[in-house]
């Protein structure tokens, strides 16, 4: 389904006015319905998108951070991107993170995604994107968990440090792609959040014993696969001795680990230039040693066999989160909603279409 009129006909003539491009709005409920139960398909889509990005068939400029002097913990980020291949779409994710929302009973993050037509540049849909963002984050984590453990025994003990929405989505995607665990460890600075996550795990029918750890050290030392999904602004885990059992670490929140921990580990990122900025843990490690030699490569390097991961060190995956992943998942949702005939089109959204009136 072509969302907009082709460039050849969009201009129209004096006697034949242009056919207006369409513009749709897709709600969060529609997004969730389109993605529910599709974990395997979305992980495959994310893998294909990483491969397109690795092959250079994408444009993914630096994200722009809007910060506020009166709200130092809050930020809004613009992620513009373009992806080729079968997706063939441009767009922008505009995502906010306001941690104070949690105390007011609102989710921390909110987002919209705008998709633009490849040929005309016209935006053709606005999607609620907090679900899309959580989905692509979780799919990326599940994909990394698979690839980064192929040279070692498959982890049977997982630990979640940070137990909000992202942790829930990551667990859902791991379970949806065939992972089972003997134990599921939980730790959060908020006892209420930890209890809520434990309740979710029990209701979801998660396999394995659920253990609420009272300390971060206990969680990490007792886990073969560690998921960091916090809102930390600077490193708070500083002791490399906690990682001497060489776990695989999904460092999704990017700023939890002190540079010394990274320097004693194998380090995989999603994109080098994106990840080594904005005072992420890898960025701090680069500043400490003055080079990027501690990086082993990207997840795409692992998937294409260009690098082999060691088994005698921790392996840390630090994904910055690429806008091309949002585009791919957003286009998937658009196509599913359009195929079902449920697009909500906004009449006359594009109005001034004649050059001379």
Distance between terminal CA atoms of the chain?
A: 29
| Predicted local confidence at residue 131, as pLDDT | 96
Instruction: With residue 311 as reference, give the H or E element that holds it.
Output: none
The closest of 171, 184, 165, 172 to 109, measured between CA atoms, is 165
| Predicted local confidence at residue 4, as pLDDT | 45
| Predicted local confidence at residue 6, as pLDDT | 38
* Cβ burial 95-129 (10 Å sphere, 16+ → b, else e): bbbbeeebeeeeebbbbbbbbbbbebebbbbbbbb
Q: CATH number of 138-321: 3.40.50.2300, 3.10.20.90, 3.40.50.720, 2.40.50.140?
A: 3.40.50.720
Q: Are 298 and 54 in contact (CB under 8 A)?
A: yes
| Predicted local confidence at residue 15, as pLDDT | 46
Distance from C-alpha of 157 to C-alpha of 300, rounded to nearest angstrom: 26
Question: What is the pTM (predicted TM-score) of this model?
Answer: 0.91
| Predicted local confidence at residue 357, as pLDDT | 73
Distance from C-alpha of 50 to C-alpha of 140, rounded to nearest angstrom: 9
| Predicted local confidence at residue 13, as pLDDT | 47
**CA distance to 101, 171, 250, 348, per residue, from 106 (Å):** 5, 21, 26, 33
Distance from C-alpha of 213 to C-alpha of 40, rounded to nearest angstrom: 30
Q: CATH number of 20-133+324-345: 3.30.1780.10, 3.90.730.10, 3.40.190.10, 3.40.50.720?
A: 3.30.1780.10
Q: Which residues contact 82 (CB under 8 A, 6 or more apart)?
A: 58, 59, 60, 89, 90, 91, 324, 327
The CB density around residue 308, as the number of other CB atoms within 10 Å, is: 11
Residues of the chain with CATH 3.40.50.720: 138-321
Coil, strand or helix: which one is 250? strand
Residue for token pair 């696969």: 225
Mean pLDDT by 10 residues, the chain (357 residues): 43 52 96 97 98 96 93 94 96 94 90 96 97 97 98 96 96 97 97 95 92 97 98 95 98 98 98 93 98 98 96 97 96 98 94 81
Residues of the chain with CATH 3.30.1780.10: 20-133+324-345
């Amino acid at each position: 389904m072509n969302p907009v009129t082709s460039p050849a006909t969009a201009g129209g003539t004096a006697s034949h006015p242009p056919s207006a491009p369409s513009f749709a709005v897709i709600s969060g409920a529609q997004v969730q319905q389109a993605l529910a139960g599709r974990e395997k398909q979305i992980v495959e889509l994310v893998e294909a998108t990483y491969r397109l990005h690795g092959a250079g068939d994408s444009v993914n400029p630096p994200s722009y951070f809007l910060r506020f002097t009166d709200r130092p913990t809050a930020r809004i980020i613009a992620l513009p991107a373009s992806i080729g291949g079968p997706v063939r779409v441009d767009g922008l994710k505009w995502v906010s993170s306001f941690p104070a929302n949690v105390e007011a009973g609102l989710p921390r993050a909110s987002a919209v995604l705008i998709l633009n037509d490849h040929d005309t540049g016209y935006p053709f849909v606005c999607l609620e994107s907090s679900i899309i963002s959580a989905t692509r984050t979780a799919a990326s984590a599940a994909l990394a968990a698979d690839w980064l453990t192929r040279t070692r025994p498959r982890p049977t003990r997982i630990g979640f440090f940070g137990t909000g929405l992202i942790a829930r989505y990551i667990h859902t995607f791991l379970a949806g792609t065939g992972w089972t665990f003997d134990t599921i460890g939980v730790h959060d600075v908020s006892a209420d959040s930890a209890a809520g996550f434990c309740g979710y795990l029990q209701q979801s029918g998660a396999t394995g014993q659920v253990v609420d750890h009272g300390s971060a050290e206990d969680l990490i030392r007792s886990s073969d696969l560690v998921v960091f999904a916090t809102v930390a602004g600077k490193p708070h885990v500083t002791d490399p001795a906690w990682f001497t059992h060489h776990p695989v670490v999904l460092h999704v929140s990017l700023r939890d680990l002190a540079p010394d921990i990274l320097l004693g580990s194998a380090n995989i990122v999603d994109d080098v230039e994106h990840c080594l900025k904005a005072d992420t843990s890898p960025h701090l490690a680069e500043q400490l040693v003055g080079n990027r030699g501690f990086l082993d490569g990207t997840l795409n390097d692992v998937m294409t066999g260009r690098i082999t991961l060691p088994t005698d060190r921790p392996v840390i995956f630090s994904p910055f989160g690429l806008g091309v992943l949002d585009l791919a998942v957003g286009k998937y949702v658009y196509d599913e909603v359009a195929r079902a005939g449920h697009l909500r089109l906004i009449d006359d959204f594009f109005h001034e279409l004649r050059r001379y009136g």
